[in-house]
Structure 1
Amino acid sequence: MRQQTHKRGRFKNKTVAIVAALALGGGGAAIITANASASGDNNNSAQGGAVSAKSAGGTISCPDVSQKLSGDVPKGSQSQVAKGLGELDNQVATAYQQMNKGQVSGDEALTKLNDQRQQTLSQMGQAMGQGGGENSQLQGMSECKMQQVAQQAGQQGGQQQGGEQQQGQQQGGDQQQGGEQQQGGEQQGGDQGGAAEGGEGANDVPGNAGGQAGNGPAQDDFVDITKVQPNAEQAPQANGNGSAGTFTSECGVGEAGLRNSDNVIVAPGVSNGAHHMHDYVGSDKNDAFANNQTFEQGGTSCANQDDKSTYYWPVVRLQDGKDEADANQLGGGQEGNVGTILTPKESKIEFKGNAQSKVEAMPKFLRIITGDAKAFTNGDANANASWSCSGFEDRQLTDKYPLCPEGSDLLRTFDFQGCWDGQNIDSANHRDHVANAAEDGSCPQGFKAIPQLVNTISYENPGDTPFAVDGFPEQLHKPITDHDDFINVMSEELMKKAVDCINSGQQCKN
């Protein structure tokens, strides 16, 4: 069995000390009452935009086939398997949109979806050529269900009393294993997707301000960072055999013209494979159809032109009711990703050492994903991104968006896996070939330490305007779904420089 590759990062618990109300006075009230539509007076219907408010009762949850794959997918079938995985995601997105626009009931959506998945999985099994056309890894993974999502209690038309947010008593934490949230012990049935828009419901909670209209985020997804108890753990100190240096690659913050909703690691050759927009730094050639040769021959935003690596992550949007350029596009407004996209102030790309050993060069074209874009329905096993505010870095959140005080920037931190199996640049589920170090910094047996990428992204304080990370429609823009992707395309000389710098204890900027 492979070593567990999940690490909680530098925070002690999945859920932190969450206050019962976001008592931010005017700021909290602004979050509750901003209910503008992201598409103005277009009603979001002509282009298949934001979905019905009544969908907040439930969301579609399907087995994540990509994470269940183990071992090697035969080389000759990799392209077809990738397209199959992309089609599975597309089927879920379509079912979610049809259900929440009232075109089908929840039961009808699931029945059709499960039939489609069964057919696609059968084709994938045949392509993989095992078990007479039915690959054992894919059996039993066609059935999707409706995962219930808690409605916000005590809300009337989005109004607050004295700026205080009203919500039911929370028991056992705000989020449970398996990604389901409970609040006040109340849950609404998930089969409400076909209900008409209007009335009280999801639009009354924060985060639906920008016209997310039922696919999140919700009031309970936000927390005042000043009310959170410090929870960040200190990184282990390097011993005599360890490596304490750092190597920073300066690659800018990305350009709007490079954004797309592809994912070349998870869904190569599949347009809109991510169903949400990514920001890109490093390589300027990253799309669904890029390959290793494409990256080598392309340009880079990095100061050192020998770093043609690609670093990409989902964009963050203000829920401000304004149209972006992708308002009527797949990956954008058609899939509930709406509002003004925030451009980062900084993306700090830093490679760190290992407390127990020297690091070895990572192989060229090594692919690493940290976090899980489907953690809300998958559960938190691979949720590894964290949110915080500048000046409050000792408080890290995985399943809440922080509301930062004036003068404090919004922060996202991605701790990538720092251990490699020494053989593979990728794996079937894109996780088994890398692992996180243990609490003392040691790598699992059979793995070796490599420079560990830590990407910290900062944004101007959004103030009273709620925000959300882009995501798959059914993931409801939950903060726990944040993630980051990396493909190493450094030259051998530059990688050697990074390794030497880290192992000698220097702090180098590239």
Structure 2
Amino acid sequence: MVRNTRKRRTPLATKAIAASAALALGGGGLIWANFYASAHESNNSGQNQTKAAAGQVATIACPDVQQKLTNVPDRARQGVATELANLDKQITEAYARLASTRQAQAGDANFVQNAIVGPLKDKRNATLDRIRIDIQRVGGQVDASGLTALAACTTQNANQNNAGGGQNNNGGQNNNNGGQNNGGQQQGNGQAGAGQNIGGQAGNGPVAADFVDITKVSANVQGKPQNGGQASTGTFTTNCGVNANKIFNTDNVIVAPGVTNGAHHTHDYVGNQKINAFSDNGNFLQGGTSCQNKNDLSAYYWPVLRLQDGTQEFDQNKDGGGKEGNVGKILTAQQAEIKYVGNPTSKVVAMPQFLRIITGDAKTTTNGLANANAHWSCTGFENKVQLTEQYPICPQGSKVVRTFAFQSCWDGQNIDSANHRTHVAFADPASGACGNGFKAIPQLTMRLVYDVPTPTIENGQVKNPYAVDGFPEQLHKAATDHDDFISVTTGGLANKIANCLNGGQRCQ
């Protein structure tokens, strides 16, 4: 693999990560408060967990090659990105074969290894070799043996934990996924899921264990750091709508530029109106915007939330949609609140034009929780409970809330990095300071509020569940929630945002 001198968090690391949530206080409007909650929150609900037969294979787990490639030369990045997208496609195809051959698996203990995992390794080896060639062709250095070691994939049984799960969090309580199975004994609610035993309308989740009654979860939201004398205490709000005009695609121009269906799941888009796999810095400025502030051409996009109620959506028979296990009624957020906040220890510098940031990890089911940054809650509970590994079941009159707080420290040089992570970082959870010579930038926070019919759990099965879109092999777990952002501004807006925060003002 490519050499990396920066230490990377391991899947078993339990680290507090920065987050932000909005607190709804009666009819008095919204007050935003930063808090620093563990990404691995605990669950004391006592909810019974569904169990599955010990030998049931639920999904395929492959090393995430992209996370290992931290120093890809610029001239090789497009070719490498294309090959990384090929790796994702290969996993998707292997998972589809896994899901469609349950009968053969039951009759042959070696079927999965011989017919699915073995051939997948061969395909990955060839793709990894092309990545090596792409990098070496432009003078880059590659640990060829290390790269080859990433070819082999494994399977996860239905009663396995999420990769990296099971550790204690900072509070010393058991991680809520420590005893949770990945699949459950639930039958799919029809369509392709019938008889596949891993739940959901399309047979790839979620399951009953992926939901929790939020009223039975202990408070886990930690206080925010104290503001110092140099704190940037202002806020800047941008109103960009809720994607009421239904701009969707299954691309991801950050991680898979030039690759149609590179995300393998559908995104909502607000802000820039022309973002797809073929957009680039040369045409972002021609995209137009859904934001009220027409100088905000930034792209804000996240995986859609679906109600798995049997609805046949427009993409039921399309790549990234029903063909890849993303099914049900797409729910439009009732509110999509986008706000930039400051830093408790220092002034912020303006975001550079075309800065890309991805927060969270779409592959936590197989990667583990090291990069998880999902936060789920309910209105009325946001200042008490934030969930990462389960979807909340909200009480009557309360709505589902997804909250994102992006990395707020920047290396001062790069608008992206080979693995799309190392050019930005989270602030220290205790102090809020940026480390390693990184500079504080405005922290992008987002709050999405949904009116979701309450799921019910009967006999160990969840009826009419909701879930975020994702890669099919990730089983629609709550922890896979993520958010993407490209900073594109005109008229000096980036400087105006920074000056607003540094001046302690409330701007929009």
With normalisation by structure 2, the TM-score equals 0.82
**C-alpha spacing 1:447/1:134, structure 2 compared with 1 (3 Å):** closer
Which amino acid in the other structure matches residue 79 of structure 1?
A: Q
**C-alpha spacing 1:293/1:7, structure 2 compared with 1 (3 Å):** farther
Q: Does 1:60 align with 2:60?
A: yes
Asked whether the 8 Å contact 2:409–2:427 carries over to 1, the reply is: yes
Q: Does 1:474 align with 2:473?
A: yes
Q: Does 1:15 align with 2:36?
A: no
Which residue number in structure 2 is paired with residue 76 of structure 1?
75
Which amino acid in the other structure matches residue 482 of structure 1?
A: D
Shift of 1:111: 0.7
Shift of 1:22: 7.4
- Per-residue Cα deviation, 1:327-359 (whole angstroms, up to 9, x for no partner): 000000000000000000111111010000000
Which amino acid in the other structure matches residue 65 of structure 1?
A: V
Which residue number in structure 1 is paired with residue 449 of structure 2?
458
Question: What 5-or-longer segments of structure 2 have no aligned partner?
Answer: 10-14, 20-35, 105-110, 162-172, 186-191, 456-463
Asked whether the 8 Å contact 1:324–1:340 carries over to 2, the reply is: yes
Cα distance between partner residues in 2 of 1:335 and 1:187:
17
Q: Does 1:338 align with 2:327?
A: yes
Asked whether the 8 Å contact 2:41–2:386 carries over to 1, the reply is: no
Which residue number in structure 2 is paired with residue 174 of structure 1?
176
Which amino acid in the other structure matches residue 229 of structure 2?
A: G
More strand by share: 2
Which residue number in structure 2 is paired with residue 402 of structure 1?
392
Shift of 1:257: 4.1
Asked whether the 8 Å contact 2:336–2:448 carries over to 1, the reply is: yes
Which residue number in structure 1 is paired with residue 276 of structure 2?
287
Question: What 5-or-longer segments of structure 1 have no aligned partner?
Answer: 24-31, 33-52, 153-170, 190-195
- Per-residue Cα deviation, 1:228-254 (whole angstroms, up to 9, x for no partner): 111111221321111111101110011
With normalisation by structure 1, the TM-score equals 0.82
- Per-residue Cα deviation, 1:245-292 (whole angstroms, up to 9, x for no partner): 110111001145420110000111111111100000001111111001
Asked whether the 8 Å contact 2:235–2:339 carries over to 1, the reply is: yes
Which residue number in structure 2 is paired with residue 488 of structure 1?
487
The correspondence for 2:431, drawn from 437, 440, 443, is 440
Shift of 1:371: 0.1
Which amino acid in the other structure matches residue 493 of structure 1?
A: G
Cα distance between partner residues in 2 of 1:309 and 1:404:
32
Shift of 1:212: 2.2
Which amino acid in the other structure matches residue 197 of structure 2?
A: G
SS at match of 1:425: coil
Which residue number in structure 1 is paired with residue 26 of structure 2?
none
The correspondence for 2:217, drawn from 210, 225, 228, is 228
Which residue number in structure 2 is paired with residue 39 of structure 1?
none
**C-alpha spacing 1:312/1:109, structure 2 compared with 1 (3 Å):** same
SS at match of 2:249: coil
**C-alpha spacing 1:64/1:212, structure 2 compared with 1 (3 Å):** same
Which residue number in structure 2 is paired with residue 379 of structure 1?
368
Q: 1:85-164 alignment to 2 at 5 Å?
A: 85-102=84-101, 105-107=111-113, 108-129=115-136, 135=144, 138-150=147-159
Asked whether the 8 Å contact 1:54–1:202 carries over to 2, the reply is: no
**C-alpha spacing 1:199/1:96, structure 2 compared with 1 (3 Å):** closer
Moved over 4 A (4+): 3-7, 53-56, 130-137, 186-189, 196-200
Cα distance between partner residues in 2 of 1:80 and 1:13:
33
SS at match of 1:125: helix
Which residue number in structure 2 is paired with residue 162 of structure 1?
none
Asked whether the 8 Å contact 2:359–2:407 carries over to 1, the reply is: yes
Which residue number in structure 1 is paired with residue 167 of structure 2?
none
Which residue number in structure 2 is paired with residue 391 of structure 1?
380
Cα distance between partner residues in 2 of 1:187 and 1:251:
37
Asked whether the 8 Å contact 2:378–2:400 carries over to 1, the reply is: yes
Which amino acid in the other structure matches residue 420 of structure 1?
A: W
Which residue number in structure 2 is paired with residue 36 of structure 1?
none
Which residue number in structure 2 is paired with residue 306 of structure 1?
295
**C-alpha spacing 1:133/1:374, structure 2 compared with 1 (3 Å):** closer
Asked whether the 8 Å contact 1:4–1:435 carries over to 2, the reply is: no
Shift of 1:172: 4.6
Shift of 1:423: 0.3
Shift of 1:480: 0.5
Cα distance between partner residues in 1 of 2:48 and 2:303:
26
CA RMSD of aligned residues (A): 2.7
**C-alpha spacing 1:197/1:466, structure 2 compared with 1 (3 Å):** closer
Q: Does 1:417 align with 2:407?
A: yes
Which residue number in structure 1 is paired with residue 197 of structure 2?
201
Give aligned pairs, total: 443
Asked whether the 8 Å contact 1:57–1:188 carries over to 2, the reply is: no
Which amino acid in the other structure matches residue 249 of structure 2?
A: N
Shift of 1:368: 0.3
Shift of 1:440: 0.6
